[in-house]
């Protein structure tokens, strides 16, 4: 990370755009004085886990909120401060962090906890990486906690990605079940509020917990978050108005601080690649498009080819037909034509409907039920949450689908005709 200190002149080049680029990395935890507009949330999390610092049992807490609302940051921040405060009261407190989008099974999560604890202590026993079950990892966890710590804060980030929630039960019952005397406080984090309902079904009352909701940032908060990291850039590289524009774009979309920072970074990289000495509003706009396409690609990366084709079908109808919303049937008709184009066997209309519902869950499309009168029954209307242009780009990044018409080709298909079918022949 020390860009300008490398001894080899080959790597010593001065970066004309960035000064401390690491400030714009996703995992970067800013100092306290760079954290903006989350005082209440910090207080609330501290109130739940804070008892640890006085040698009392903590509460468990679940944090819900969309991506980029500071959940991971605030959790880590408060946990670290609690650890420091505990230490100054001569209480040994550990902080453990598990990203459940990676460690997405109970075995993986417990293995990571055990290894992490071993790393923090002088624990002598070998902890096998494979070939052992969850129970063995729990054994190590209880033993290390018992030997070395009075208290521990366990952050389970993106907990909705975990295949089951047994770990919550194990952690919250550990004392009662006399596995360890160490106080355990769990901070669970989920990007999906829907997880709340499934959680209630999955766990029993032993995981008593409070709930906190983090809200998206508004433009002025995003502006301040970025201002606080302006020194990621060389002096006078950011043109006037760029941070304001970036904040406005990010606020309009999702109030997502991560996206705002990513756009800023991408704009800097664009400027550097094109040999520009400053970052302009044009760079920000271009970076925002790239970021949006990346977001869509990220969201759909795990989706099947048919889900992608369904999205493409809806996008292409919007582009050529000019309407905002389409019925499942209308999307299906277009989808069948597109399958022909890429030599793929279409799935059934009902199958497609399920794909669309899945996409709705991911937040790429919105579906709303419309009453069609008593005889017709109700039907769903689907709309894209993003610019159809971005969907077309993101879908075409799949190498098996790059033959599909580009946005410009679709656009030319029918300049203003409404609801006209895609002319498949013109692309073959």
The answer to the question of residue 30 lying near ligand ADP (CB under 6 A) is: yes
Of the two residues 145 and 155, which places its CB atom closer to Mg ion in the complex? 155
Residue 123 counted as an annotated binding residue: no
| Binding span for Mg ion by CB under 5 A among 65-73, 140-148, 236-244, 303-311 | 65-73
| Binding span for ligand ADP by CB under 6 A among 71-79, 85-93, 163-171, 288-296 | 71-79
Rounded to whole angstroms, how far apart are CA atoms 416 and 419? 9
Of the two residues 30 and 346, which places its CB atom closer to Mg ion in the complex? 30
Of the two residues 65 and 185, which places its CB atom closer to Mg ion in the complex? 65
Instruction: Report the SS3 class of residue 124.
Output: coil
- Cβ atoms of residues 226 and 268 within 8 Å: no
Rounded to whole angstroms, how far apart are CA atoms 345 and 407? 23
The answer to the question of residue 65 lying near ligand ADP (CB under 6 A) is: yes
The answer to the question of residue 28 lying near ligand ADP (CB under 6 A) is: yes
Rounded to whole angstroms, how far apart are CA atoms 208 and 62? 10
| Binding span for ligand ADP by CB under 6 A among 69-77, 309-317, 331-339, 342-350 | 69-77
| Strands of the 325-327 sheet, one edge to the other | 325-327, 378-384, 365-371
Residue 66 counted as an annotated binding residue: no
Strand ranges for 53-182 from DSSP E: 60-65, 93-99, 151-157
Rounded to whole angstroms, how far apart are CA atoms 257 and 95? 25
Residue 72 counted as an annotated binding residue: yes
List 53, 72, 110, 359, residue binding Mg ion (CB under 5 A): 72
- Cβ atoms of residues 52 and 183 within 8 Å: yes
Of the two residues 72 and 355, which places its CB atom closer to Mg ion in the complex? 72
- CA 39 to chain centroid: 22
List 19, 59, 67, 105, residue binding ligand ADP (CB under 6 A): 67
List 35, 91, 186, 311, residue binding ligand ADP (CB under 6 A): 35
Residue 68 counted as an annotated binding residue: no
Tokens (6 digits) for 178: 């006399």
| Binding span for ligand ADP by CB under 6 A among 254-262, 306-314, 331-339, 408-416 | 254-262
The residue written with tokens 């006078």 in the block is 236
Rounded to whole angstroms, how far apart are CA atoms 332 and 346? 9
Secondary structure tally for the chain: helices H, strands E: 16, 8
Per partner kind, with CB cut-offs from 5 to 8 A, the member of ligand ADP, Mg ion, none near residue 337 is none
- 101, 175, 300 from 157: Cα distances, Å: 8, 23, 21
Restricted to residues 259-288, the positions that interact with ligand ADP (CB under 6 A) are 261
| Binding span for ligand ADP by CB under 6 A among 136-144, 256-264, 279-287, 416-424 | 256-264
Q: Binders of Mg ion: how many residues, by CB under 5 A?
A: 1
Per partner kind, with CB cut-offs from 5 to 8 A, the member of Mg ion, ligand ADP, none near residue 38 is ligand ADP
The answer to the question of residue 38 lying near ligand ADP (CB under 6 A) is: yes
Task: Output the CA torsion sign for 235, 252, 292, 261.
Answer: positive
- Cβ atoms of residues 386 and 291 within 8 Å: no
The residue written with tokens 């299906």 in the block is 332
Binding site for ligand ADP (CB under 6 A): 26, 28, 30, 34-38, 65, 67-73, 225, 257-258, 261
Binding residues: 69-73, 217, 229
Where on the chain is the footprint of Mg ion (CB under 5 A)?
Answer: 72
Residues in binding site for ATP: 69-73, 217, 229
């Amino acid at each position: 990370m020390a860009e300008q200190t490398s001894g080899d002149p080959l790597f010593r080049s001065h970066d004309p755009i960035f000064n401390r680029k690491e400030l714009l990395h996703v995992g970067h935890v800013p100092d306290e004085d760079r954290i903006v507009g989350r005082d209440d949330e910090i207080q609330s999390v501290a109130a739940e886990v804070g008892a640890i610092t006085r040698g009392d049992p903590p509460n468990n807490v679940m944090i819900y909120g969309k991506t980029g609302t500071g959940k991971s940051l605030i959790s880590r921040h408060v946990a670290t401060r609690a650890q420091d405060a505990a230490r100054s009261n001569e209480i040994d407190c550990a902080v453990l962090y598990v990203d459940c989008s990676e460690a997405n099974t109970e075995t993986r999560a417990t293995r990571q906890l055990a290894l992490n604890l071993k790393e923090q202590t002088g624990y002598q026993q070998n902890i096998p990486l494979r070939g052992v079950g969850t129970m063995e990892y729990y054994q190590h966890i209880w033993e290390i906690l018992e030997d070395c710590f009075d208290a521990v804060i366990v952050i389970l980030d993106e907990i909705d990605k975990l295949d089951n929630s047994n770990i919550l039960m194990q952690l919250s019952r550990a004392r009662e079940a006399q596995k360890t005397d160490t106080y355990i406080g769990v901070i669970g984090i989920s990007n999906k509020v829907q997880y709340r309902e499934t959680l209630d079904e999955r766990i029993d009352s032993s995981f008593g917990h409070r709930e906190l909701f983090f809200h998206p940032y508004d433009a002025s908060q995003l502006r301040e978050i970025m201002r606080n990291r302006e020194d990621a850039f060389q002096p006078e590289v950011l043109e006037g108005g760029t941070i304001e524009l970036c904040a406005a774009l990010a606020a309009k979309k999702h109030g997502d601080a991560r996206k705002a920072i990513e756009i800023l970074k991408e704009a800097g990289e664009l400027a550097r690649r094109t040999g520009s000495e400053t970052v302009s509003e044009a760079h920000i706009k271009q970076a925002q498009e790239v970021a949006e396409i990346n977001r869509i690609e990220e969201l759909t990366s795990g989706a099947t080819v048919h889900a992608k084709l369904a999205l493409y079908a809806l996008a292409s109808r919007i582009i050529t037909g000019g309407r905002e919303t389409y019925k499942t049937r209308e999307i299906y008709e277009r989808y069948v034509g597109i399958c022909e184009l890429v030599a793929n066997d279409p799935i059934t209309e009902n199958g497609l409907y399920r794909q669309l519902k899945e996409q709705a869950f991911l937040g790429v499309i919105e579906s709303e039920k419309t009453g069609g009168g008593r005889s017709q029954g109700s039907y769903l209307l689907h709309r894209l949450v993003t610019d159809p242009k971005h969907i077309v780009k993101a879908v075409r990044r799949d190498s098996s689908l790059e033959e599909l018409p580009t946005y410009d080709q679709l656009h030319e298909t029918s300049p203003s005709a409404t609801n006209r079918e895609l002319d498949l022949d013109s692309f073959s």
